[in-house]
Amino acid sequence: MVATGPDGEVVQFTDFSVTCRPSEEEQPPAQIVYALAGFGDADNPSRPKGPAMMIEAADTVDGMTVELPHIEEYGNEKTFVSAFITEVGDEREIASNTELSTGEIEVISATCEPTPRLEVRIDGVMESELSDNTVTVQGYVVAE
C-alpha cells in the first residue's frame, strides 16, 4: 500500500499483521478483521514511532466495494470498513471517512476462520482529520 502526501512524500506500508475481534455487545454479531502495519504485531500493537496504517473490515463485507468517504455509525457492522494512516510527511490522522475523501475500498476477503485474513484494494484520496489536505492512497494488501 502506497500513500503520497501533498508535498510528494511517499510512504509504503508492507508487512501487515492481522487479527480478529468480536463486535461489541450492543452491535450486530460480526467478527472485525483488522490489519496493522507500523504498529508492531496486531495481537500486541504498540504506539507507532513513524508512519503506520490500520485497515478494518467486518467479516460481513466480504466481496463488497465501498465509495469514499465511507461514513457510518460505529455500531453498523454490516458495512463496517475503514482505513487510517497516522502520518505522511506533515499530514496527520488521515482517514477514509473524512469529507474530502474520494475513491473506493474493495474488500476482496475479510474472514477470521480458519485463520484471520484480510484482502483489500484501495484506490483513492483520504483527507487528514486535522487539515483540509489530502493523501493519495493506492495499493493491494493481503494480510494473513
Please list, residue by residue across 39-60, b when 16 or more beta carbons sit within 10 angstroms of its beta carbon and e when fewer do: beebeebeebeebbbbbbbbbb
Percent of the chain with pLDDT over 90: 69
pLDDT at 86: 95
The pTM for the full model equals 0.91
User: Model confidence over 21-59: pLDDT tens digits?
Assistant: 888 787 777 888 999 999 876 777 778 888 999 999 988
Using CA atoms, how far residue 34 sits from 13, 89, 111, 125, 132, in Å, is: 15, 24, 10, 20, 27
User: How do residues 104-135 score in pLDDT, each as one tens digit?
Assistant: 999 999 999 999 999 999 999 999 999 999 99
Rounded mean pLDDT of 8-15? Answer: 96
CB 23 within 8 A of CB 30: yes
Q: What is the mean pLDDT of the chain?
A: 90
Say if residue 141's pLDDT is above 90: yes
Written as one letter, the residue type at 21 is: R
Domain boundaries, the chain: 2-143
Query: Could you give the CA distance from residue 60 to residue 32 in angstroms, rounded to a whole number?
Result: 9
Q: What is the pLDDT of residue 106?
A: 97
